[in-house]
A and B are shown apart, each in its own frame.
Chain A
């Protein structure tokens, strides 16, 4: 009896561990995309969150409504999310930044972008919760130390690692990466040394938004999609990047996993519905103790 209880506890622990890792991988992607954009433009882009839904619904449209393959759908989702993010920059943020609008104006405008995108998706596809995966519930699963992980979840983890590595290489070893960092450090100086800042920032918005779209697609295959999915994901990504230190790419990854673990182990003894509250409580505590995040630059 005593031993049975102990084994049950172990199983729960390893399941929570797996859930934490998967959550961490998703938050990592969103935090990376968010950090990439923040690192270049230095304002909180809330519209970024809705792009997860844009990506996921593009896949839904391609695979369900025009009968395309999953591969086509995923590619379309990533590209559409990237283009929408880029468009938001060109039409809203670029003119505001040119006018030297304050960070708060940009934040409010990005809330507007977020609200519009979410509402348009709901108008096109209704507010219903839907699943992307055709084989929901029939997926292959793997057992690790008493916990279960689905095939989709292992793909999520793989993609998370791949995106982090790719972004790391891109930022560290390419001219583009150097230009992005230069803009983040001092935009005016970057202009003076001949960097086409508008084009680079436009590209940053495309890449960051595409990553958000990809994260949304993965979440869609894991659980499901609804127009409002972006807000929760965005906030988790933002919390992860702030905990890690905004604009700091590696900090974002660490913050994402810390958040994933805090959330999932935090609900061990209480209802899972408290995850969001735990996430924000963690953020507030970290900000009070270390206002610039754990890995501040």
Chain B
């Protein structure tokens, strides 16, 4: 049971990451491969604040969101100069830069040693120390993120995003400042990724740079491609399926290290097969 709760929490955290990335990749058509960087900014800001001061988790979370939004704005402004595959490549670059800051800014992040002993969140003096209580918290956040994304995609703002995806030049002819829309959704996605990062930090209670690599960004991309580009429900499906997949491999009886590599190989295969046979994912509406 404890194990199922653990998996559900992970699924919840990845669901937030997937839904938020889908807003950028699936709805707006911008192939961003740097989501793990914002996940990391959220986790590090939360961890540093909670370890070094005794402020409440929810205050730290707000700070994490604000931090990721600032980084997202800076990254987004640079990225807005690029298109298509160059966009993907430059976004790659940001993931590498942010990762190397986590790894090398040792006086703050403690580098490869990571930050241990992050306290669990507490609410009105009551600590959410058991996993089942934490799962409730995660579920609430997933619901909030889902609702927000639903509102964004059903609004007129969301329709502009889809129009950018289909034909940006035409939209500009109609007088839309498309780069404002692209920047806004990019910052929103970065902020939501920071929420996932904050939850991750206080759940695992230890973070180190190795969680926030480019490989992780590719994994989050695999989640949304599996579930479906331009479909929020698809992202939830992707998070459930791909977080559970390695557990299935482990039950089949592969030893730990091989199972971990097997997991990577399977994600890679999924990316190839989906690109070959179903580029819009399981229930998506948009093909890259």
Specify whether A and B are partners.
yes
- Residues of A bordering B, CB below 8 Å: 43-44, 92, 95-96, 101-109, 111-120, 122-123, 126-127, 231, 235, 238-239, 242, 271, 273-274, 276-277, 280-281, 283-284, 287-288, 291
Q: Which of A107, A123, A283 sits near B85, CB closer than 8 Å?
A: A107
The answer to whether A274 touches B100 (Cβ under 8 A) is yes
Chain A proximity of B276: nearest CB distance (Å): 6
* Residues of the A chain whose Cβ atoms lie less than 8 Å from the Cβ of B84: 102-104
Q: Does B94 contact A (CB under 8 A)?
A: yes
Going nearest first, the 6 A-B pairs with the smallest beta carbon separation are: A115-B268, A112-B271, A116-B268, A280-B93, A119-B264, A119-B265
Name the residue of chain B whose CB is nearest to the CB of A270. B104
Q: Please report the C-alpha to C-alpha distance between residue A109 and residue B94 in the assembled complex, in whole angstroms.
A: 21
The answer to whether A105 touches B268 (Cβ under 8 A) is no
16 contacts between A and B (CB under 8 A): A43-B85, A101-B275, A103-B84, A108-B271, A108-B275, A111-B218, A112-B275, A115-B215, A115-B264, A115-B267, A115-B268, A119-B262, A120-B265, A123-B262, A126-B257, A235-B92
* Residues of the A chain whose Cβ atoms lie less than 8 Å from the Cβ of B272: 92, 109, 112-113, 116
* Residues of the B chain whose Cβ atoms lie less than 8 Å from the Cβ of A127: 257, 261
Most chain B CB atoms below 10 A, which of A101, A104, A122, A288: A104
The answer to whether B104 touches A280 (Cβ under 8 A) is no
- Residues of B bordering A, CB below 8 Å: 31, 33, 78, 81-82, 84-86, 88-90, 92-94, 96-97, 100-101, 103-104, 214-215, 218, 221, 225, 257-258, 261-265, 267-272, 275-276, 279, 287-288
Name the residue of chain B whose CB is nearest to the CB of A285. B78
The answer to whether A242 touches B89 (Cβ under 8 A) is yes
Report if A277-B100 is in contact (Cβ < 8 Å); known contacts: A112-B270, A283-B93: yes
Chain A proximity of B109: nearest CB distance (Å): 12
Report if A277-B97 is in contact (Cβ < 8 Å); known contacts: A96-B275, A115-B268: yes
Chain A proximity of B167: nearest CB distance (Å): 14
Q: Please report the C-alpha to C-alpha distance between residue A120 and residue B269 in the assembled complex, in whole angstroms.
A: 11
* Residues of the A chain whose Cβ atoms lie less than 8 Å from the Cβ of B93: 235, 239, 280, 283-284
Q: Please report the C-alpha to C-alpha distance between residue A120 and residue B265 in the assembled complex, in whole angstroms.
A: 7
The answer to whether B276 touches A92 (Cβ under 8 A) is yes
Q: Which of A43, A118, A239, A271 sits near B264, CB closer than 8 Å?
A: A118
The answer to whether A109 touches B85 (Cβ under 8 A) is no
The answer to whether A109 touches B275 (Cβ under 8 A) is yes
The answer to whether A280 touches B94 (Cβ under 8 A) is yes
The answer to whether B88 touches A104 (Cβ under 8 A) is yes
* Residues of the B chain whose Cβ atoms lie less than 8 Å from the Cβ of A44: 85, 88-89
* Residues of the B chain whose Cβ atoms lie less than 8 Å from the Cβ of A102: 84, 287-288
The answer to whether A116 touches B269 (Cβ under 8 A) is yes
Q: Please report the C-alpha to C-alpha distance between residue A242 and residue B93 in the assembled complex, in whole angstroms.
A: 13
Name the residue of chain A whose CB is nearest to the CB of B111. A273
Q: Which of B94, B268, B270 sits near A114, CB closer than 8 Å?
A: B268
The answer to whether A271 touches B104 (Cβ under 8 A) is yes
Report if A112-B269 is in contact (Cβ < 8 Å); known contacts: A43-B85, A92-B276: yes
Report if A96-B276 is in contact (Cβ < 8 Å); known contacts: A281-B97, A283-B90, A284-B93: yes
Chain A proximity of B93: nearest CB distance (Å): 4
